Structure 1
Amino acid sequence: MIKNNTEFIFNDTPTKSNPIMNQKWVKRIDDYSNYAKEYIIHYKKSLKGNSISLSKYPYMKVKWEALGMKLEKAKKRGLLTGEQIKKVMKIQIKIVNTCCE
């Protein structure tokens, strides 16, 4: 009887193929992309001396980095698909290219 209960618990744990968990990571990647876009906008404006962007830029950077760390942990744990990993890498390359201009 105990064995059956244990199997039930383990069968209920989320896996990569779980659509609910997959949607969670899709949402996080979309948020990551949106923060990256805002980060780039405020970064460029702050270089020109825009005072509003100078105040928003650090906040956007912190949020972008926090989401990036969550996605990196998910990648290490195997929770992201190949397509999701590619999308995250594209976003990161965009940031690096912007900062190197």
Structure 2
Amino acid sequence: MKKSETNTFQNVQEKNKEEIILDKWDKKIKEYNNYVKEYLLHYKKSLKGNSVSLSKYPYLKVKSEVLSEKLNKGVKKELLTKKQINKVFKIREKIVNACCS
């Protein structure tokens, strides 16, 4: 293989690696969003005394907090794009709005 072909191959591998990493974070953000939606649903129902929601609520709260911590680490290590960071903040805004209203 020629030197230029090797460099091109390495560049393609690096781009693919970056895409895989971004996809990983996109999946985590999507998972976080889904848990937050479910969490808020059960949060509201638990406030009304729904026993099923009361039993699910603590698990969902812990799971969403774990995902949030993982995303925080990604933000601190600058592994997320600005677009991904904005998505995370919009999701967190949903929590604040739902819990404060």
Q: TM-score range by the shorter chain?
A: 0.7 to 0.9
Q: Which residue of 2 aligns with 1:32?
A: 32
Q: Which residue of 1 aligns with 2:79?
A: 79
Percent identity for Structure 1 against Structure 2: 60
TM-score normalised according to structure 2 size: 0.83
| Deviation for aligned residue 1:71 | 0.2
| Deviation for aligned residue 1:95 | 0.3
SS of equivalent to 1:49: coil
d(CA) in 1 for partners of 2:50, 2:35: 19
Q: Which residue of 1 aligns with 2:53?
A: 53
TM-score normalised according to structure 1 size: 0.83
SS of equivalent to 2:80: coil
SS of equivalent to 1:78: coil
Q: Which residue of 2 aligns with 1:90?
A: 90
The structure in which a higher percent of residues are helix is 2
SS of equivalent to 2:20: helix
Stretches of structure 1 that go unaligned for 5 or more consecutive residues are 1-10
SS of equivalent to 2:49: coil
d(CA) in 2 for partners of 1:22, 1:87: 13
d(CA) in 2 for partners of 1:87, 1:26: 10
Q: Deviations over 1:42-95 (max 9, x none)?
A: 000000000000000010000000000000000000100000000000000100
d(CA) in 2 for partners of 1:19, 1:91: 23
Report the RMSD for the aligned CA atoms in angstroms: 1.7
d(CA) in 2 for partners of 1:93, 1:21: 25
